Amino acid sequence: MFFALTFSILASAFLLVPLIKKFSGARVLVSLPAGLAFFAFLFMGWPSLRSGEVITHTLEWFPSMGINLDFQLTGMGFVLGLLVMGIGALIMSYASGYMKGDAKETRLYLLLYSFMVAMVGLAVSNNLLLFFIFWELTSIISYLLVGFKHEYETSRKNALQALLITGGGGIAMLIGLVMLSHVGGAWTFTELTANAHLITESALYPYILTLVLLGAFTKSAQFPFHFWLPNAMGAPTPVSAYLHSATMVKAGIFLMFVMTPILGGTELWKTTLITTGSITLLVGGWFGLTQKDLKAILAGTTISVLGLITFLIGIGSDKAILAAILVMVAHALYKASLFMMVGAVDLATGTRNINELRGLKKWMPLTATAALLAGLSKMGLPPFYGFIAKEYLYKAAIPLPMEWIQAVLVLGNAIILALAIKVSIIPFFAKDKEKQESASDNPLHKNELDWTMSVSPFVLAILGVLFGAFPNLITPMVHTAVHSITPEANLYAVKLWSGVNWPLILSIFTVGLGLALFFSSRWLEKKETPKSWGVVIYERLLEAVLCLFKKTTRVVQSGYLQNYLAVILIATVALVAWKSIPTMGLWVSYESNLTLTPIIIITAVIMLISAFWICITKSKLNSIIALGVIGAGVALLFAYYSAPDLAITQLLVESLIVVMFAWVIKDIKPHNLSTPLLLNSWYLIISASFSLLIFTLVMKSKLVNLAPAISQKMVEMSYPEGFGSNVVNVTLVDFRALDTWGEATVISIAAIGVWILGKNLISKKS
Amino acid sequence: MELIISLLIAGFFGTGVYCLFQRSFIKLIAGLILIGQGANLLVFSVGGLMSLKPAFVGKEAPPMVADPLPQALVLTAIVISFGLIIFTISLLLKAQRELKSDDLNQLNTTDTL
């Protein structure tokens, strides 16, 4: 009921959105289904989650293989679902302003809704395969959305890049999941969790882990696969804000969360995740520091934060899991807000270059406020939710034995802080030193942006403050999420102020370092971003694969009829001979109870001579006459061997073909193309051996006796049931009428084809 | 199986295939027709040949008539191969018009038409 309701509200969007678009002036209503689904999910899911009741639903799918459509609401899935639908609703309303007047508007909304369905499905699926299907769906929809401006080549290229990388990871993950279910003996996450010891002790464990993590790392843009994310930012801003910062990239994180009780806790898991996470944190930050484009900077920090979360999941302690969830929520809130703000600025001023944008607060006060609030949360300053997340992050990291980790974390967070200042403060609040500001010097193309574009980022930014000041508003949900991952975890209270302690000192240090980085960051910006080596490897690999298959295709698909024919015939002859000669022998025996009359023998000889004549002659008229002779001969055979209907049809068809031929014969040029002798004798050998094969098979086919009962029944039923004395006719129009109907269809289609081609020919002529 | 009919079928298939190997349009069509005739004869003769006893029945079914089922199938096949051949002729005519040649080997790319 719960799942059905959520999904059907979301699905109703596919009906409602086109209607709203068509009949309502208030296009912001397109966010309605997402909003409703959000509240339904929240108010129906939360009470039962809090009371500890588990909402599950199972639909049979392949019961014989133990594979079913299992849905289950877990604490983690609940948090992800809320983020997906809540942010989704705001993004929808933002998109209705952003896409105003765009011809492909409805397409964007519906793609975003499809994505939402896939993402919610992913959050609530309890079956490995179901999870995988939703996972792949998000990849495919992301492909369509990144390539939304498909008129541009870069857009298509980046979409393909994102698809190939996440899709490749998805395939690796599928193999990993199948191995996982094989070792763990179940397809559901819940059962696998119970069998976790089987899996971690299995010899296959390292392979399973690697394959599953490949899926997670590609999806969540972890090093060394991070390079697709900045390229995917070419998508329209609502897409970047929704998929590539707040939700889809969190799917990989979500996978790591749900795998924690199944695959987690081992040294291999910890080392891999901690190392990858730390590298990603720094690589993403460095990428952000070198960029001037607002969206690229945000992409860089998104990669950083994803690395941070991976790192925390790798630590896996109770505090770390709590911190990971806090970071995830805080990041989703401020990053989606910042992305929407960048989209608004881009649309208003026509640029995203941070060096050109100054003093925008005067023109876009609401957007500027939203940017400031979200930016402060991103910097990790009190009283914002980002601050809480960062404090708990440090709390989780401090007990670790590795000192370098803390240095990496401080550096990473400092970079994020510096970039936050760059993105959210400078464009709005810095004064333009070069140009004198004046009222006439309005940088905006449009003075008024649609109000929906400022409200959505503002709401998210406000939530960041609200949750920061009163963390208990959502702490219970965060706690159930922690419990769904580590059921025995100590639940640490989430507080804004926990006294002067080591994390606070680290925070202060981070702020200092971040400010220093900010002031020195202008020297780091590059004029042109060189391709990162990840992109280079990807492009080389893609090129090599395409080249290989082009060459193979060129060899296999020559485009010459003769080659295809030769391959088919040689293969047929060889295979049939190989299989049948040992069992049936080569010799054919001849026996017949048929009386051969001279007329049949003479007809057959004439027909054979005509057939050979067609092969030899160079005259087109001779060919047509010989074909006519053969057709008439076949008709005679039909007539003689008790098939008058066939004879009549054959004669009619033969005449029509000859007429048609005669009609077009003047248009067909005489053929004086000769095949080289050697090649021709090769063709002759193939034809002859094929002919021999057919002869042998036909001679031997006396052994094949088709069931006579059908024919006998037809003869018996023809008159009493079909009311006709000609059994063949009754068969055609009655017993096998469907065949005849199909035949009529084929002829009609052919007639339409001939008509179109013929019309074309005539119009060309005149 | 009947020797003379088998020879005929094999001859049609062999010459038909040989015609397909040639490079001219008219041979291609002739090859298709020949193979079609061979296939029709093959199906027809599989039911057992019986001279001069067509499947006409009255109220009382006669004890021995020719098998009507292969005949019905072949009848369908004749008509369909007719459609196929007429369509091929128009297609090749069109191709020849565009290419100004009747060389089948110039039809090996999809893009130049």
Look up residue A43 and give its two tokens. 């108010």
List CB contacts (< 8 A) between B35 and chain A. Answer: none
Q: Are A750 and B79 in contact (CB under 8 A)?
A: no
Q: Which residues of A158-187 are buried (b: 16+ CB within 10 A; e: fewer)?
A: bbebbbbbbbebbebbbebbbbbbebbebb
- How far is the C-alpha of A375 from the C-alpha of A297, rounded, in Å? 13
Q: Residue A764: closest CA among chain B residues belongs to which residue?
A: B97
Nearest to A278, CA basis, from A420, A377, A406, A414: A406
Read off the pLDDT band of B113 (50, 70, 90): very low
Q: Do B57 and A699 touch (CB under 8 A)?
A: no
CA-closest candidate to residue B96, choices B104, B108, B87: B104
DSSP A437: P
Nearest CA in chain B to A671: B24
ipTM above 0.90, yes or no: yes
Say whether domain B3-47+67-100 belongs to CATH 2.60.40: no
**Which letter, b or e, does each residue of A81-100 get, where b requires 16 or more Cβ atoms within 10 Å of its Cβ?**
bbbbbbbbbbbbbbbbbbbe
DSSP letters, A593-658, are: -PPPPHHHHHHHHHHHHHHHHHHH---HHHHHHHHHHHHHHHHHHHHHTT-HHHHHHHHHHHHHHH
Contact A10, A37 (CB under 8 A): yes
Q: How confident is the model at residue A588, as a pLDDT?
A: 66
Q: Cα A561 to chain center, whole Å?
A: 37
Q: What distance in Å separates the CA atoms of residue A173 and residue A210, rounded to the nearest whole number?
A: 9
Best mutation target, A700, A701, A711, to test chain B (most B CBs within 10 A)? A711
pLDDT at position B108 is 64
CB contact under 8 A, A757 and B90: yes
CB A219 within 8 A of CB A169: yes
Chain B contact for A596, CB < 8 A? yes
* Interface touch A691/B47, C-beta < 8 Å: no
d(CA A21, CA A53): 40
Give the span between the Cα atoms of A714 and A712, in whole angstroms. 5
Q: Name which of A641, A650, A664 is nearest B93 (Cβ-Cβ).
A: A664
Residue type at A685 in one-letter notation: I
Beta bridge partners of A188: A127
Chunk chain A into consecutive blocks of 10 residues (it has 766) and report each block's average pLDDT, rounded to whole numbers: 86 85 77 88 88 86 82 91 92 87 85 92 91 93 90 87 91 94 89 88 91 92 87 86 85 92 89 92 89 88 92 89 91 90 84 78 80 86 85 84 82 88 83 52 56 85 88 87 84 76 82 84 68 81 91 84 91 89 71 73 93 88 90 92 90 89 73 77 93 87 62 82 86 89 92 85 58
Nearest-CA distance B18 → chain A (Å): 5
pLDDT of residue A440: 42
The residue assigned the tokens 């929520």 is: A329
Q: Which of A633, A626, A625 is nearest to A650 (CA)?
A: A633
Q: What angle do CA A664, A667, A673 make, to 5 degrees?
A: 115
B112 contacts on A by Cβ (under 8 Å): none
Which of 470-499 (A) contact B at CB < 8 A?
A: none
Q: Please report the number of interchain residue pairs, chain A to chain B, with beta-carbon separation below 8 angstroms.
A: 278
- Do A225 and A172 meet the contact criterion of CB atoms below 8 Å apart? no
Q: Kindly determine whether residue A731 and residue B25, on different chains, have CB atoms separated by under 8 Å.
A: no
Nearest neighbour of B74 by CB, restricted to A608, A646, A746: A646
Residues of B within 8 A of A673 (CB-CB) are 22-24, 102-103
Res B18: pLDDT: 94
Q: B28 in contact with A at a CB cutoff of 8 Å?
A: yes
Q: What is the pLDDT of residue A138?
A: 93
Q: Residue A587: phi, psi to the nearest 5?
A: -75, 140
Do B13 and B42 form a contact (C-beta atoms < 8 A)? no
- What are the residues facing A127 on neighbouring strands? A188
CA distance A636 to A271: 85
The pLDDT value given to residue A436:
45
Beta-carbon separation of A694 and B69 below 8 A: no
Nearest-10 crossing angle of helices A620-640, A598-616: 160
**Contact A706/B20, CB-based, under 8 Å?**
no
Q: Is B95 on the interface with A (CB under 8 A)?
A: no
Q: CA-nearest residue of chain A to B22?
A: A675
| Cα A630–chain centre separation | 56
Identify the CA nearest to A31 among candidates A320, A331, A242. A242
| Contact: B21, A630; criterion CB under 8 Å | no
Which residues of chain B make contact with A657, given a CB cutoff of 8 A? 33, 82, 85-86
Q: A644 — contact with chain B (CB < 8 Å)?
A: yes
Distance CA A28, CA A470 (A): 30
pLDDT computed for residue A528 by the predictor: 65
Asked if B25 is an interface residue toward chain A (Cβ–Cβ < 8 A), one would say: yes
DSSP output for A492-558: ----S---S-HHHHHHHHHHHHHHHHHHHGGGT--SSPPPPHHHHHHHHHHHHHHHHHHHHHHHH--
Q: Which of A601, A627, A644 sits opposite B54 (nearest CB)?
A: A644
Which residues 32-91 on chain B approach chain A with CB closer than 8 angstroms? 33-34, 37-38, 40-42, 44-47, 49-59, 61, 65-69, 71-76, 78-80, 82-87, 89-91
The DSSP symbol for A360 reads G
Q: Is A342 exposed, middle or buried (0-12, 13-18, 19+ CB in 10 A)?
A: buried
